[in-house]
A and B are shown apart, each in its own frame.
Chain A
Amino acid sequence: MLTGCGGETQPSAALSGPSPVTTNPPPNTNPPPRPGATVGPEFVGLEVPRSPATLAPAEPPDVPVSVEVSAVNISAEVVPVGIADDGQMELPPHPDVIGWYRFGPTAGNGAGSVVLAGHVDSRKYGLGQFARIHESEVGDEVLVRTESGRDLRYTVVDVRSLPKAELPLADVFSREGHERLLLITCGGDFDRQQGYADNIVVTAVPA
């Protein structure tokens, strides 16, 4: 796969400890007789996890502010972006500015897919910083600086181009699994109506 994101986690079963295998399915009679307990014995005597139903303080993430891939001479400002009106990832208009998908994990968070994407070019500004991203190679270093001043180093593990329709969006934007950094732009054949045919995707993992 594209991102090597294995760790799909199942919705957490509420109880640790004995496996809550249903050994006594609830009665299918009408009306259900009271002694036909549907609470399995696995619950009895176990402490059900609980917590105060209070407001969780929102901790602002340590957002990425710049990205460098010195091997291909990329050094760009990074700004948080969200969703465009058409439901696609929003991108900074200037192709020298890279967007960080702010609804996904931030760099250094330790989990999930950190997505940095930028226009490969623009009619107004010409070619962008990520126009050179396809030249990067496995083993190249990617440096991401965060707002708090942390320098996070990643190593490129994959460089590929694939048709936009085949971009595995659920994986690209996954919050699960080990942290990885995705640098995305466009490439391939260009059509005035359709734009570029492909997405260039560079995958890097914490060094």
Chain B
Amino acid sequence: MYGGNCYAPKRMIVLALTMPLALAVASGTASAQDEATVSVLHGVPGLTVDVFANGEELIPGFEPGTLTDPLTLPAGSYDIEIFAEGEGPDGDPAIEAAGVEVPGGANATIVAHLSEGGDPTATVFVNDVSELAAGNARVTARHVAAAPAVDVRVNETPTFEGLTNPNEATADVAAGTISADVVLAGSEDVVLGPADLNLAEGTSTIVYAWGSAEDENLDLAVQTIDDLGAPPNGVPAGEAGLADTSSTTGLWILGLVVALFAAAAAVVVRRRTTIGARH
């Protein structure tokens, strides 16, 4: 299935293939009645474009490093054509992808980017929007740069290793701020970062490495998806029973009071006895 649906418990790393567009040509009918949530990220440096879907202009004047808000689109098959600004729809597209499957009910990001070899291409990533456990955040790294395999390091520890274009790795982690950088796979050669990422609780943070190593314009792009969190599963706010309201403990407390009273009385009697003895 789609790499974006990968679900990883804490500390476990899952490397998953995404669905390259070329392989996504419709193999069957799409569930026609469903809708999908689709964002579009432009990750081809130096080229402002117009994005067309099935012959209709969807995103005019789209600049590199820019992400659209989520769009609600009918699920199904899309022919995506991306033209240098003003050259569509009759010119030669800079990027052409036929039969891009947008699954019903999915949350997906279509990324226009460079292949490892530097050719413009596009990839659909299905975003994992499954519920996060309370206190957790999801972090996903996507390699969409003209660059070789990389390791993504978190706090200088390789966390996603051997990530290649156009693939992704994802993990659910405790929410908090991390320092992430990108190194050439198996090396200490930092090609991007370090950058501080605030992984907010209940939020998915997707980090894209885009651009070209050769052209020295590698960069990070960030997409966040909110409202994936779950509440705590309770508020365990007491442990001793001192505020107990139940009748049995009430009797127990009554018994304690009686016992204390009796003890106090005994002390008094004893004191009197003692006092009496002094006289």
Q: Is the contact region of chain A dominated by helix, strand, or loop, or is it mixed?
A: loop
Closest to A170 in B: B231
Residues of B within 8 A of A (CB-CB), count: 72
In the assembled complex, the CB of A155 is this many whole angstroms from the nearest CB of chain B, namely 22
Task: Give B88-134 interface residues, CB cut-off 8 Å to A.
Answer: 99, 133-134
Q: How many Å lie between the Cα of A15 and that of B59 in the bound state?
A: 13
Residues of A within 8 A of B85 (CB): none
Q: Is A83 within 8 A of B232, CB to CB?
A: yes
Q: Is A189 within 8 A of B245, CB to CB?
A: yes
Residues of A within 8 A of B56 (CB): 37, 39, 41, 43-44
Residues of A within 8 A of B75 (CB): 26
Q: Which of A65-73, A113-121, A136-144, A146-154 contacts B (4 or more CB under 8 A)?
A: A113-121
Residues of A within 8 A of B202 (CB): 103
Q: How many Å lie between the Cα of A23 and that of B196 in the bound state?
A: 45
Q: Is B246 within 8 A of A50, CB to CB?
A: no
Q: Mark A173-207, 1 if CB is under 8 A from B, else 0.
A: 11100000000111111101001100100000000
Decide if A55 is an interface residue (CB 8 Å cutoff).
Answer: yes
Residues of B within 8 A of A36 (CB): 54
Q: Is B76 within 8 A of A32, CB to CB?
A: yes
Residues of B within 8 A of A169 (CB): 231-234
Q: Which of B27-35, B145-153, B157-165, B260-268 contacts A (4 or more CB under 8 A)?
A: B27-35
Q: Is B234 within 8 A of A103, CB to CB?
A: no
Set B135, B221, B243: member contacting A121, Cβ < 8 A: B243
Contact A26-B77, Cβ < 8 Å, known A83-B135, A103-B202: yes
Residues of B within 8 A of A167 (CB): 234-235
Set A31, A55, A87, A119: member contacting B239, Cβ < 8 A: A119
In the assembled complex, the CB of B193 is this many whole angstroms from the nearest CB of chain A, namely 10
Q: How many Å lie between the Cα of A62 and that of B177 in the bound state?
A: 17
Residues of B within 8 A of A41 (CB): 56
Decide if A1 is an interface residue (CB 8 Å cutoff).
Answer: no
Q: How many Å lie between the Cα of A77 and that of B32 in the bound state?
A: 56
Residues of A within 8 A of B238 (CB): 95, 119-122, 185-187, 190, 195-196
Q: For chain A, which range describes its interface: under 10, 10 to 19, 20 to 34, or 35 or more residues?
A: 35 or more
Set B70, B234, B235, B246: member contacting A190, Cβ < 8 A: B246
Q: Is A14 within 8 A of B77, CB to CB?
A: no
Task: Give A10-49 interface residues, CB cut-off 8 Å to B.
Answer: 11-15, 20, 22, 25-32, 34-41, 43-45, 47-49
Task: Give B211-259 interface residues, CB cut-off 8 Å to A.
Answer: 220-224, 227, 229, 231-246, 249
Q: Is A14 within 8 A of B70, CB to CB?
A: yes
Residues of A within 8 A of B78 (CB): 38-39
Q: Is A89 within 8 A of B235, CB to CB?
A: yes
Q: How many Å lie between the Cα of A45 and that of B243 in the bound state?
A: 65
Residues of B within 8 A of A7 (CB): none
Task: Give B24-46 interface residues, CB cut-off 8 Å to A.
Answer: 26, 28-30, 32-33, 35, 37, 40-41
Q: Is B133 within 8 A of A87, CB to CB?
A: yes
Q: Is B234 within 8 A of A196, CB to CB?
A: no
Q: How many Å lie between the Cα of A6 and that of B133 in the bound state?
A: 24
In the assembled complex, the CB of A41 is this many whole angstroms from the nearest CB of chain B, namely 8
Contact A14-B69, Cβ < 8 Å, known A32-B77, A185-B238, A190-B246: yes
In the assembled complex, the CB of A73 is this many whole angstroms from the nearest CB of chain B, namely 15
Residues of A within 8 A of B222 (CB): 53-56
Contact A56-B242, Cβ < 8 Å, known A39-B73, A87-B133, A88-B234: no
Which residues of B are interface residues toward A (Cβ below 8 A)? 26, 28-30, 32-33, 35, 37, 40-41, 53-60, 62, 65-79, 99, 133-135, 175, 177, 195-198, 200-202, 208, 220-224, 227, 229, 231-246, 249
Q: What 4 A-B pairs have minimum CB-CB distances, sorted nearest first?
A: A83-B135, A58-B198, A186-B238, A189-B246
Task: Pick 28 A–B contacts, CB within 8 A, sort by A.
Answer: A11-B227, A14-B69, A14-B72, A15-B71, A27-B76, A32-B26, A32-B30, A38-B73, A44-B56, A48-B58, A49-B69, A51-B69, A53-B208, A55-B222, A87-B134, A88-B235, A91-B236, A103-B135, A103-B201, A103-B202, A103-B229, A117-B235, A121-B238, A121-B239, A172-B231, A185-B235, A189-B249, A195-B239
Given contacts A41-B56, A48-B71, A51-B67, 10 further A-B pairs with CB under 8 A are A13-B72, A35-B55, A38-B74, A39-B56, A43-B71, A55-B222, A89-B236, A117-B237, A169-B231, A188-B246
